[in-house]
Amino acid sequence: IHGAPTPLLGGLAVFFGFAFSVFVNNLHSPEATGVAAASAIILIVGAWDDMRRVRATVKMAAQLLACAIVVYSGVRLSFFPPGLLEDAVEIFLTFLWLIGISNALNFLDGMDGLASGLGAIASLFIGITALQTDQPFLMFLSLGLMGGCLGFLPYNLRGRKPAAIFLGDAGSTFIGFTLASLGVLGTWDVNDPIKAFAMPMLILGVLIFDTTFITVSRVISGKVSSVREWLEYVGRDHIHHKLVDVGLSRRQTVFFIFLVAASLGISALVLRNGRTVDALLLLIQGFNILFLLVILMQKGAGTRNKDNGSPH
C-alpha cells in the first residue's frame, strides 16, 4: 500500500506530547509517575520492536513489568472487599485489562489514522468524564494524550497522500496502555458498580470488541493456541478489513469506525447522569451497535470468500 519506506517512530512524538502535558501541569503523584514509567517501558520495547523484531516473550515480559509498576503505584481495579483472595483477583483482572487494551489498539493499527484517531476519541471522552466528575488530575492526563494523538494525526491521515509517518508498535501500544491505565485510574462512580464498569467499557468499546472477536474466532479456528501466537498472529479478520470487504473505501472505513467509537463515548457521557437501569440499557445499546458491526463483518467475510472462489 505504501511504496516508499515510511518512518515508524511517530509514537515518540505522541509520547513527548503526553509527557510535556504531565510536566507543564505539574502532575506529580505516585499514580502519574507509575503510569508514565510503565508507559515509557512499553514505548521503548515497542520502538525496539520497530527497529529490529523482538520476540513475543520479550514483549510480554515488558508488558507484565509495566503492569506491575502501575499496580504498585496504586492504580488497579477495585470492586471487592479487602482480602487476600479478593486482592489477587483484582490484580489479575487489572493485568488482563492493561495487556488486553494495549494490544487491542496495536492490532487495530492497520489503516492510516485509525489507531491515533481512536486514541484521540477515547482520550476526549475520558477527559470530559473526568471534568464532569471533578477529577482534574485525570482530565489533564487524558487531554495530554489526546493532544499527542491529534498532533500526530495530520502526518498520518493526509487525504489522498500516503502517510508521512506511522505510529509503529511503539506508538500504538503506548497509546493503548495509557488509555487502559487511565480507565483504571478514573473514579467513574463510587456508588454504582454497574455504572463504574459500563463507562470505560463503552468508551473503549471498539477496542474491546475487535480484540474479543478476533481472539474468539482465532481460537475456535485453531489459528491461535497460546499467548505467544496471539501476540504474533497477523490476519485480515479485524473490523477494518471486514468493512473494506463489504465495499467501503479505506477512508470510509476509518471514519465509520470513528463514528462507532464516538457513539459509544456519547453513551458513556449520558450514562453518568443516569440510573442503574439506564446503565444497563446503554450497555445493551452499545452491544446492539457492535452487533451491527458483526453483521457487516460477516457480510464482508462472505463477499471476500465469494471473490476468492470465483475464477479470474
Least confident of 41-55, 96-110, 199-213, 295-309: 295-309
Q: What is the mean pLDDT of residues 119-137?
A: 92
Q: What is the pLDDT of residues 34-48, one digit of tens each?
A: 898 999 999 999 999
Q: Which residues contact 20 (CB under 8 A, 6 or more apart)?
A: 144
CA distance 237 to 149: 25
CA distance 130 to 187: 8
Q: Residue 233's closest CA among 209, 217, 253?
A: 217
Q: Would you list which residues are annotated within the binding site?
A: 106, 169
Are 275 and 195 contacting, i.e. CB atoms less than 8 angstroms apart?
Answer: no
Say what the pLDDT of residue 26 is.
65
Percent of the chain topping pLDDT 90: 34
Grid cell at residue 41? 517501558
Say what the pLDDT of residue 301 is.
60
Say what the pLDDT of residue 81 is.
64
Say what the pLDDT of residue 311 is.
44
Say what the pLDDT of residue 263 is.
92
* Residue 206 exposed, middle or buried by CB count within 10 Å (0-12, 13-18, 19+): buried
Say what the pLDDT of residue 1 is.
45
Q: What is the pLDDT of residues 244-297, one digit of tens each?
A: 888 888 889 999 999 999 999 998 888 877 777 877 888 888 888 888 888 877
Say what the pLDDT of residue 115 is.
92
Higher-pLDDT residue of 126 and 78 is 126
Higher-pLDDT residue of 160 and 217 is 217
Q: Would you list which residues are annotated within the binding site for Mg(2+)?
A: 106, 169
- Bridge partners, 12 (sequence order): none
Q: What is the mean pLDDT of residues 62-69?
A: 96
Say what the pLDDT of residue 258 is.
95
CA distance 241 to 224: 19
CA distance 95 to 63: 9
Confidence of residue 196 (pLDDT cuts 50, 70, 90): confident
